[in-house]
Amino acid sequence: MVHATLLVAALLPLAAHAANDWTKPCFGECNWDIDTDTGSGTVRLVGSSNGISDITTAAGWEILDCNATATNQDIRLVCADESAGCDHLAQNGAAGTIVRLPKSCGSMPFAVVGREWTHANQTIPSTLAKRIARRDGSKPTVKGIALSTDFASLDSNTHGNVSFFIQGASVPGHAKTFAVEPPTGSGDLAKRGLFDWVTDTLSNLNTFDKNVTNSSPINFEKNSPLFDTSIDCPAVGSIPAFSGSAHVDIDGKVDGNVNYGVALAGSIVPPSVDKFGLFVNLDTTVTGTVNLAASLAGSIGTGKISLFQVGIPGLDVPEIFSLGPTFEVFGSADVTLDANVNTAVDIDYTVSGAQLFFPPGTGNGGGSFVPGDSNVKLSASPDVTSNGKLEAHLIPTLAFGVNLLAGKAKANINLAVDGNAAVDLSLSASATKSTDATANTSDFGGCVDITSGLDVSAGADGSLFSLFNKDASVSLFSKNFDLFKKCFGSSAARRAYTGRSALAAMVQKRAALTCPTTALASAASVVEEKVLAAAIKK
């Protein structure tokens, strides 16, 4: 993974003076640090002098009553130090001003002032009253302020526009070590626009070390049935009654780690996102065995099935921005069968240093995508003509849910690692049929094609205003590998081989599984071998 210090230095480039400083009031410009056990970052608000103010001790205020976990509430506060700038809040009227809050007040870093008044309760704790008493012995006035997170209600005609710059990464403890300030003035924007700012903060990531030890683990190990169907087949002619069945499962395992970072810029007043960039660094192995056992004919498709889901620690600026990652594993299978068929095919891929930049154009992704050894097995009834297809997928997925301004803009960005296995076969009975399980490939004619594939890609569901839409996508890797391909037996059987396109059409035409119309002998081995990774890569 990316080295922690270098990751944050590149991804979160705010100057030290731009990070949150509790000793200085923020008038017209304010910062807040994201600093948790699982991530760090900074949000910077920039507006007119009237648009952003401060009700912390740095601006001279002492808050008397406040709920530390509430969002919308009325609070009491008093000016304890007029020289620090208490009167700044009243510039152009307090209503509609965005204010920074101390950590002890509210669950969010910033709030909107709805109104301000002289509070009916003028009680001040004695220790504070002694400290802030004026020379003439009078006490300062206790004010009441209504706070909310209704940023959407703000009108730029009142206090002007308010812009934001947000940067964060899944690396804790570095919110005050950033090196480069984002562009805020018109001159700086002309020299180095928002797009350059976002891409600059992401582009250096692909040169760093891979030694982060506090990355988020993504682990999964489970046997997952994809479908399991049985039918009581009646006696027909010489075929005795029997219980037919079809079963597909995946023994799947995912073992990996992920780091991520984000940079975005826009405005709270009016609400918009002008530029956005997401970086993901992924190392993982995806292994599994697809198992099919069937004595029915027809086809079935499972669709995409969720096998496992768990949340990953995210980044949050309460009521302004949140990035909530989820790790989810999906499986699917499509099967078309004519006869008694059993298969077991391995999926085995190692993904190293996979780097995603999203949306397209914010950086160059890449990584190493290497197949491993694979065991392949196929057995079929040797006494009937058989056309069949199995295609199964194991798809670990990272979904990054983006939520801005309490749902004003939402999007999901999904990074999927789709490992799959496919078996295509077209077999016909030999002139001399074998009726026991000792048959070999000489008892068959036809062709078998067993492949494995890996597709690593990202796409968006939803949109962030007009930045990107659901059609935006990035492909990091896509390739199919031949594990086993062989034709044997009679030339007629070879010519009967349908190939992928015809078998895919069969999947579309058939709607269900039915009992076979021919008596079936026990399945006999057609293929059983281990394909080495060195051979797969050629």
Distances from the Cα of 519 to the Cα of 234, 274, 289, 435, 439, angstroms: 12, 67, 29, 10, 17
Q: Tell me the one-letter amino acid at 446.
A: G
Share of residues in the chain with pLDDT > 70 (%): 78
For the ranges 198-202, 344-348, 415-419, 420-424, the lowest mean pLDDT is seen at: 198-202
Of residues 354 and 74, which shows the higher confidence score?
74
Domain check: are 129 and 262 in the same one? no
Of residues 416 and 197, which shows the higher confidence score?
416
**19 pLDDT higher than 70:** no
Q: Check residue 312 and give its pLDDT.
A: 92
Domain check: are 111 and 229 in the same one? no
Domain check: are 304 and 394 in the same one? yes
Candidates 31, 35, 369, 8; CA nearest to 202 is 8
**282 pLDDT higher than 70:** yes
Cα–Cα distance, 372 to 419 (Å, whole number):
12
Looking at 149, 172, 207, the residue that finishes a domain is 207
Put residue 509 in one of left, alpha, beta given phi > 0 → left and psi -120 to 50 → alpha.
alpha
What tens digit of pLDDT does each residue of 161-210 get?
998 888 888 877 654 543 345 555 444 443 445 556 566 555 544 443 34
Share of residues in the chain with pLDDT > 90 (%): 40
The vertex-343 CA angle with 341 and 349, nearest 5°, equals 155
Strand partners, 214: none
Q: What is the pTM of this model?
A: 0.83
Q: Check residue 358 and give its pLDDT.
A: 86
Q: Check residue 168 and give its pLDDT.
A: 80
**If you average pLDDT over residues 270-287, what whole number do you get?**
88
Q: CB count, 10 Å around CB of 144? A: 16
Candidates 252, 248, 332, 257; CA nearest to 287 is 252
Strand partners, 447: 426, 487
Handedness of CA 32, 36, 41, 43 (dihedral sign): negative
Q: Check residue 345 and give its pLDDT.
A: 93
Q: Check residue 276 and give its pLDDT.
A: 85
Domain check: are 195 and 233 in the same one? no
Tokens of 139: 């006490």
Strand partners, 385: none
Q: Check residue 363 and give its pLDDT.
A: 72
Q: CB count, 10 Å around CB of 61? A: 25
Domain check: are 133 and 231 in the same one? no
Candidates 478, 469, 281; CA nearest to 365 is 281
In 3-state terms, what secondary structure has residue 207?
helix
374 within a domain of the structure (yes/no): yes
Report whether 334 contacts 304 (CB < 8 A).
no
Q: Mean pLDDT for the chain?
A: 80
283 within a domain of the structure (yes/no): no
**156 pLDDT higher than 50:** yes
285 within a domain of the structure (yes/no): no
* Helical (H) or strand (E) element with 6: helix 4-11
Place of tokens 């890797």: 477
- Going through 234-381 in order, the beta strands assigned E by DSSP cover 242-269, 272-294, 297-301, 305-311, 315-317, 321-337, 341-358, 366-371, 374-380
**93 pLDDT higher than 50:** yes
Domain check: are 235 and 164 in the same one? no
492 within a domain of the structure (yes/no): yes
pLDDT bin (cut points 50, 70, 90) of residue 496 is very low
Domain check: are 387 and 471 in the same one? yes
Handedness of CA 107, 113, 119, 125 (dihedral sign): positive
**436 pLDDT higher than 70:** no
In 3-state terms, what secondary structure has residue 123?
coil
Domain check: are 314 and 186 in the same one? no
265 within a domain of the structure (yes/no): yes
Q: Check residue 443 and give its pLDDT.
A: 60
316 within a domain of the structure (yes/no): yes
Q: Check residue 195 and give its pLDDT.
A: 59
Q: CB count, 10 Å around CB of 305? A: 17
Q: CB count, 10 Å around CB of 521? A: 21
Candidates 185, 157, 404, 401; CA nearest to 273 is 404
**33 pLDDT higher than 50:** yes
Report whether 158 contacts 257 (CB < 8 A).
no
**422 pLDDT higher than 50:** yes
Of residues 196 and 306, which shows the higher confidence score?
306
**If you average pLDDT over residues 20-42, what whole number do you get?**
86
530 within a domain of the structure (yes/no): no
Report whether 278 contacts 167 (CB < 8 A).
no
**If you average pLDDT over residues 514-531, what whole number do you get?**
80
Looking at 207, 240, 263, the residue that finishes a domain is 207
Domain check: are 424 and 352 in the same one? yes
**If you average pLDDT over residues 318-331, what whole number do you get?**
92
Q: Check residue 519 and give its pLDDT.
A: 67
DSSP string, 271-312: TEEEEEEEEEEEEEEEEEEEEEEE--EEEEE---EEEEEEE-
531 within a domain of the structure (yes/no): no
Domain carrying residue 360: 216-277+290-523
* Helical (H) or strand (E) element with 100: strand 98-100
**If you average pLDDT over residues 325-349, what whole number do you get?**
90
**303 pLDDT higher than 70:** yes
What tens digit of pLDDT does each residue of 232-267 get?
989 888 788 888 899 999 999 999 999 888 888 888
What tens digit of pLDDT does each residue of 450-489 get?
999 999 999 988 766 667 666 788 999 999 999 988 887 6
What letter would DSSP give residue 408?
T
Candidates 96, 93, 56; CA nearest to 77 is 56
**If you average pLDDT over residues 431-437, what whole number do you get?**
42
pLDDT bin (cut points 50, 70, 90) of residue 39 is confident
Domain check: are 375 and 323 in the same one? yes
Domain check: are 359 and 378 in the same one? yes
Q: Check residue 387 and give its pLDDT.
A: 77
Could you give the number of structural domains in the chain? 2
pLDDT bin (cut points 50, 70, 90) of residue 18 is very low
Looking at 207, 232, 262, the residue that finishes a domain is 207
Domain check: are 123 and 92 in the same one? yes
